Amino acid sequence: MGATIRDVARLAGVSRGTVSRVLNDQPRVDPQTRVRVLQAIADLDFSPSMLARGLSIGRTHSVGVVVPFITRPSIVERLRGIEGALSTTPYDLIVFNVETRQRRDNVLRDLTRGERVDGIILVGLSPDDAMAASADRPGLPTVLIDSHHPRFSRVITNDVEGGRQAARHLVELGHRRIAFLGDTPPMAFTYPASRLRYRGVRMALRSAGLDLPDRYTIMRDPGRTRARELTRELLVGPMPPTAIICASDLQAIGAREAARDLGIAVPEQLSIIGYDDLDIAGYLGLTTIRQPLFESGVSGARLLLGQLSTGNRQPVREVLGIELIARSTTGPPPA
Amino acid sequence: MGATIRDVARLAGVSRGTVSRVLNDQPRVDPQTRVRVLQAIADLDFSPSMLARGLSIGRTHSVGVVVPFITRPSIVERLRGIEGALSTTPYDLIVFNVETRQRRDNVLRDLTRGERVDGIILVGLSPDDAMAASADRPGLPTVLIDSHHPRFSRVITNDVEGGRQAARHLVELGHRRIAFLGDTPPMAFTYPASRLRYRGVRMALRSAGLDLPDRYTIMRDPGRTRARELTRELLVGPMPPTAIICASDLQAIGAREAARDLGIAVPEQLSIIGYDDLDIAGYLGLTTIRQPLFESGVSGARLLLGQLSTGNRQPVREVLGIELIARSTTGPPPA
DNA sequence: TTGTAGGCGTTATCAC
DNA sequence: GTGATAACGCCTACAA
């Protein structure tokens, strides 16, 4: 199987150094010998060992992407963006799925030491200060997607603004009893998007002179099924809201499911707004806040590639736009 | 940043060899010195270079997973299974998304040569004979998920049987005009699941004395949107079917969408069956054929890990079960 | 039990 | 232009 550079050198009647030069397209090599070497390479079906090369030049040509809960469609979408941007480069994409703090710490430790990767992309994971410290000593180039830390380049959206837009949309439709269905961050160190969106909602309501009572504020476990249960409880209780803002499309789907269970018409009796604009939202006609998931992956990867090629590790903050997509789950409140 | 084994040795007052032995849990080392070494490792915050270790022992501790169209939910689900199985092992997961034949060839070439990975998992990609040949010379351990080749270990489901079950379900409900909406494999070398399911459908219909005319056989591009268009054409045409079997849940969703567009009630006027049982199918109440996507990833990874640890490369064929999940998009045909 | 030294497959720095 | 040769960081006989 493995022909080495040494075999090539022998067959071509040159030294290993020369073969290496040919391999790396270096100018100072005689056209004649270059041909001979290339021929030998072809004959032996040789291809260089990435491992050895990496050890020698100190780079691995791979980037580590750390994501929490690869389950979630929004995460997958971002991953796709990263993969797309990386696929045209010589960099491999190594995926790490972390679902516990323990595992996160292990992964990050391994990654920031042992020269396993040339750079890191953290998705939805906010580095703590200990980890941030490793960015000081010129450690691994690292970029954040959908999470924050002043020391790192990052691509984010304005979640507060997203919450605000959702709330304003409902207020303009005439709603006055608006609930928020979010989730607690699954792990301490994950990005608290839900909470920020909540904050935006509350701000918008307040400036419209409306209140967001505790009873209308539900933040528990994420996921469709749980959202369905929670919404049901809310809707069968006293003074149900006329609209619900959800922190994700999945939760919005669960909420709608609950409405259906109870025979409550959407949007005639209840308006629902999601967040993300997943593919499925279009099919379901879900009103939602679109955030550029795929594109965030592309941008993040580009940021990292930039650091990798220029060595410039100045933190950049890239803010991607969001947009309200009004479909058919929102309308005026019942008279 | 990078403390090396040499630094540890110096600090602990031992030789590099001893440090290495401690690192690899080799028995013949004095408990006392072991402690000293471990202390030094901790003090220096040292962790060994995977690159160097790999070069030395000839393994990379990573496996390459090649998938077509990481876009598709079913693929993602399988990927999750693989990741899950690998996460408890020292193996890293390197993802390659291939969407063109060109890219597939490049990836596979790189992968099977240059010692980049210790093993390969191909998802939904049927290796051609050229590639299969590389399995002869004891090349890289390779396993297939949702694709076939006698030379490789593989985990599959019986797609023909899946089609058959779907058709039988409808026949038993009383349908006689049944259509099939599948897709052509997106690339020549991808696994022709749709076609096999079609075959199963045809067989079941035939043995029920029913016909599957060309007009009821639609195989074009995959995807929800396209399925919606195609179904529409079918339904507005002469003698529309009373039931449609789709080769994927996504297509079934598109079909249902078309029915909705035309004001055709499901399942009263039209029955629809999907394939995969994605999460969303449950929400939509879609009748479908469930295949264990996540589990197929787990099994595939396990198969590969087995080969990696035992060296036994005897091809194994693991067939996972499928199951009809009857929900609310199928019912008796209109009277 | 521990130290020494050669080797894994490249690249890079010299001389020539 | 090209050929030696010393890294790169680790593992593993072989000695001691």
B251-290 residue pLDDT tens: 999 999 999 999 999 999 999 999 999 988 998 999 999 9
Element spanning B180, H or E: strand B178-183
For residue range A275-329, list pLDDT tens digits in order. Answer: 999 988 998 999 999 999 999 999 999 999 999 988 888 999 999 999 999 999 9
The pairing of strands B92-98 and A92-98 is: antiparallel
Angle A275-A179-A327 from CA coordinates, rounded to 5° = 40
- CB of B92 less than 8 A from some CB of A: yes
Q: Which nucleotide is closest to the Cα of A4 by its C1'? A: C9
Report the alpha-carbon distance of residue B190 to residue B146 in Å, rounded.
Answer: 9
Report the alpha-carbon distance of residue B335 to residue B325 in Å, rounded.
Answer: 24
Task: Indicate if CB(A17) is under 7 A from strand C.
Answer: yes
- Where are the alpha helices (H) located in B208-292, listed in sequence order? 224-236, 249-261, 279-284
Report the alpha-carbon distance of residue B79 to residue B333 in Å, rounded.
Answer: 38
Residue–nucleotide distance: A40 CA to C7 C1' (Å): 24
Show contacts of B231-238: CB within 8 Å, 24+ apart.
Answer: B231/B181, B231/B255, B231/B257, B231/B258, B231/B259, B232/B258, B232/B261, B232/B262, B234/B179, B234/B181, B235/B259, B235/B262, B235/B264, B235/B270, B236/B262
Report the alpha-carbon distance of residue B255 to residue B249 in Å, rounded.
Answer: 10
Counting Cβ atoms within 10 Å, is residue A100 exposed (0-12), middle (13-18) or buried (19+)? exposed
Cβ atoms of residues A63 and A92 within 8 Å? yes
Cβ contact (<8 Å) for B54 and A50? no
Best to test chain B binding among A49, A61, A88, A94 (most B CBs inside 10 Å): A49
Element spanning A120, H or E: strand A119-123
Cβ atoms of residues B78 and A76 within 8 Å? no
Report the alpha-carbon distance of residue A10 to residue A46 in Å, rounded.
Answer: 13
Show contacts of B279-285: CB within 8 Å, 24+ apart.
Answer: B279/A224, B279/B73, B280/A280, B280/B73, B280/B249, B280/B253, B281/B249, B281/B252, B281/B325, B281/B327, B282/B327, B283/A224, B283/A253, B283/A257, B284/B253, B284/B256, B284/B329, B285/B327, B285/B328, B285/B329
Cβ atoms of residues B286 and B125 within 8 Å? no
Homologous superfamily of B5-56: lambda repressor-like DNA-binding domains (1.10.260.40)
Counting Cβ atoms within 10 Å, is residue A103 exposed (0-12), middle (13-18) or buried (19+)? middle
For residue range A48-64, list pLDDT tens digits in order. Answer: 998 999 999 988 889 99
Q: Is the pLDDT of residue A79 over 70?
A: yes
- CB of A116 less than 8 A from some CB of B: yes
- CB of B44 less than 8 A from some CB of A: no
Cis before A292? omega within 30: no
And the tokens for A233?
Answer: 């409880």
- The pLDDT of B292-304, averaged and rounded, is 97
- CB of A136 less than 8 A from some CB of B: no
Sole residue written with tokens 């915050």? B45
Query: Which residues in chain B have their CB less than 8 angstroms from residue A55's CB?
Result: 49, 51-52, 55
Residue–nucleotide distance: B247 CA to C15 C1' (Å): 68
Cα-Cα end-to-end distance for chain B: 77
Best to test chain A binding among B70, B74, B77, B92 (most A CBs inside 10 Å): B92
And the tokens for B269?
Answer: 């006027």
Report the alpha-carbon distance of residue A64 to residue A78 in Å, rounded.
Answer: 14
What is the torsional sign of CA B107, B109, B115, B121?
positive
Residue–nucleotide distance: A57 CA to C12 C1' (Å): 9
Residue–nucleotide distance: A118 CA to D10 C1' (Å): 19
Residue B295 makes CB contacts below 8 A (sequence gap 6+) with B81, B320
Report the alpha-carbon distance of residue B276 to residue B246 in Å, rounded.
Answer: 10
3-state SS, one letter per residue, for B134-172: CCCCCCCCEEEECCCCCCCEEEEECHHHHHHHHHHHHHH
**pLDDT score recorded for residue A283:** 86
How many other β-carbons are positioned within 10 Å of the β-carbon of residue B267? Answer: 22
Sole residue written with tokens 């998705």? A123
Place B137 in a pLDDT band, splitting at 50, 70 and 90: low
Cβ atoms of residues B320 and B291 within 8 Å? yes
> For A60-69, A154-163, A209-218, A233-242, which range has the lowest pLDDT when averaged over its residues?
A60-69
**pLDDT score recorded for residue B134:** 67
Place B116 in a pLDDT band, splitting at 50, 70 and 90: confident
Q: Is the pLDDT of residue B176 over 80?
A: yes
**pLDDT score recorded for residue A136:** 59
Query: Which residues in chain A have their CB less than 8 angstroms from residue B60's CB?
Result: 51
Residue A234 makes CB contacts below 8 A (sequence gap 6+) with A179, A181, A216, A218, A240, A241, A244
And the tokens for B39?
Answer: 């202390």
Place A154 in a pLDDT band, splitting at 50, 70 and 90: very high
Query: Which residues in chain A have their CB less than 8 angstroms from residue B283's CB?
Result: 224, 253, 257
Whole-number percent of chain A with pLDDT over 90: 74
Place B139 in a pLDDT band, splitting at 50, 70 and 90: confident
Report the alpha-carbon distance of residue B223 to residue B217 in Å, rounded.
Answer: 16
Question: 3-class SS at A288?
Answer: strand
Report the alpha-carbon distance of residue B128 to residue B163 in Å, rounded.
Answer: 26
Range(s) of chain A covered by CATH 1.10.260.40 = 5-56
**pLDDT score recorded for residue A3:** 87
Cβ atoms of residues B71 and A278 within 8 Å? no
**pLDDT score recorded for residue B103:** 83
Report which of residues 13-52 in chain B place their beta carbon less than 7 angstroms from any atom of strand D. Answer: 16-17, 20-21, 23-24, 46, 48-49, 51-52
Q: Is the pLDDT of residue B36 over 60?
A: yes
Range(s) of chain B covered by CATH 3.40.50.2300 = 62-157+293-321, 159-291
Nearest to B49 among A70, A115, A224 (CB): A115
Cβ contact (<8 Å) for A60 and B51? yes
In Å, how far is A332's CA from the nearest CA of chain B?
24
Q: How many separate helices (H) and strands (E) can be counted in chain B?
A: 13, 12
- Chain D footprint positions (protein CB, under 7 Å): 1-5, 7-13
Sole residue written with tokens 């999470």? A147
Homologous superfamily of A62-157+293-321: Response regulator (3.40.50.2300)
And the tokens for B240?
Answer: 């529309």
- CB of B84 less than 8 A from some CB of A: yes
Distances B238 to B216, B220, B234, B260 between C-alpha atoms, Å: 11, 20, 8, 18
Best to test chain A binding among B41, B45, B51 (most A CBs inside 10 Å): B51
Domain B159-291, architecture per CATH: 3-Layer(aba) Sandwich (3.40)
